[in-house]
Structure 1
Amino acid sequence: MARTQGSHSDITGPRIRKAALGLFARHGYAAVSMRQIAAEVGVQAGALYNYTPDKQSLLFRLMNEHMQDLLSAYGELGRHADASEALRQFVGFHIRFHLERPDEVFIAYMELRNLTPENFADIEGLRRSYENALEAILRQGQEAGLFDITDTKIATLAVIAMLNGVMTWYRAGGRLSLDEVERIYWDMVRKSVSA
């Protein structure tokens, strides 16, 4: 099959993913057609299949890339031996990483239900890896007597849910700076787990 005139795989592929990301975030995966994605990119609908087998594969790729980027960026951070400092670092990292990617975050949480069982299992495994990193910090603090936590798994999920809330309301140029928001959230997380 001939490539669409003016189409370049290193340009069109990323444009398709960017268009799909924006459309899925605004309208929801189920409401978006491949034709809409093609129109957003400015290519014929059939041309999309040169870059992705179907809409499900596109959704999975977006989610997978987001989770891989998250795990990679977190993995590049230096680790603190002190659990309290490690938790403070996690709080700041989570807020700042996710605020830069609101569409990716929305899709990563709201569109899980639209994944096939196999794709869901893959994404859930990546999410669990990230959650496990936080749970390891909480366990370390618990064992050192720094944190008083009844159930580290529930605490992990509660902390992540609290931090994810920032993405729904924070706006640059608002009443609080990002540094202030990070300090306030760190104070709330610290108090919620402190012994």
Structure 2
Amino acid sequence: MARTQGSHSDITGPRIREAAIRLFARHGYAAVSMRQIAKDVGVQAGALYNYTPDKQSLLYRLMRDHMQELLEAYEAMDQGGDAQDTLRRFVGFHIRFHLERPDEVFIAYMELRNLTPDNFVEIEDLRRKYENALEGILHQGQQSGLFAISDTKIATLAVIAMLNGVMTWYRSGGRLSLDEVEQVYWDMVRRSVTA
């Protein structure tokens, strides 16, 4: 299939990704058609298939890319110090990384149900790697006596759920700065796990 005159794959591909993220986050995956994505980008619907085989592949790739970026950014972070220092950095990292990507976060959590079983398994595996990083911190703190946690898996899920709440209400220029919000959340997380 010939590319539309004036179309450039290095421009059109990212524009398709941006449009899909925006539309899936605003309307939900099931309500968005490939035709709507194409219209938003300004290309013919058929041109999308030069970039993705179908809508499911597009959703999967968006979610996979988000999780891989998250894991890579976390792994690049300083991991030194005791469990409390590491947990403090995790809290700040999670809040700041996710606040920069609210639509991707929304899709990563709300559209899991729309993945095919095979795609779901792959995305869940990536999510589990991130959760395991936090659980490892909590387990280390539990073993060293810094944290009093009866079940590190439940504590992991509770901490992530608490941190994800920031994405639903925080607005730049609000009553608290991001540094202040991060400090409040760190205080809540610390108190919830400390012996």
The answer for the alignment partner of 2:136 in structure 1 is: 136
The answer for the alignment partner of 1:111 in structure 2 is: 111
The one-character-per-residue Cα deviations of 1:7-42 (angstroms, maximum 9, x if unpaired) are 111110110010000000000000000000000000
- The DSSP-based 3-state class of the residue aligned with 1:175 is coil
Q: How far does residue 80 in structure 1 lie from its aligned partner after superposition?
A: 2.1
- TM-score after normalising by structure 2: 0.99
2:148 aligned with 1:148, yes or no?
yes
Q: How far does residue 5 in structure 1 lie from its aligned partner after superposition?
A: 1.0
Q: How far does residue 176 in structure 1 lie from its aligned partner after superposition?
A: 0.3
Distance 1:13 1:140 in 2: 43
What is the number of equivalent residue pairs in this alignment? 195
2:125 aligned with 1:125, yes or no?
yes
The answer for the alignment partner of 2:72 in structure 1 is: 72
Distance 2:132 2:80 in 1: 16
Distance 2:25 2:145 in 1: 42
Distance 1:7 1:116 in 2: 31
Distance 1:18 1:138 in 2: 36
- Structure 1 unaligned residues grouped into runs of 5+: none
Runs of 4 or more off by more than 4 Å in structure 1? none
Distance 1:166 1:192 in 2: 17
Distance 2:80 2:187 in 1: 18
The alignment yields a C-alpha RMSD, in angstroms, of 0.4
Q: How far does residue 6 in structure 1 lie from its aligned partner after superposition?
A: 1.0
Distance 2:8 2:77 in 1: 35
Q: How far does residue 81 in structure 1 lie from its aligned partner after superposition?
A: 2.9
2:27 aligned with 1:27, yes or no?
yes
- Structure 2 unaligned residues grouped into runs of 5+: none
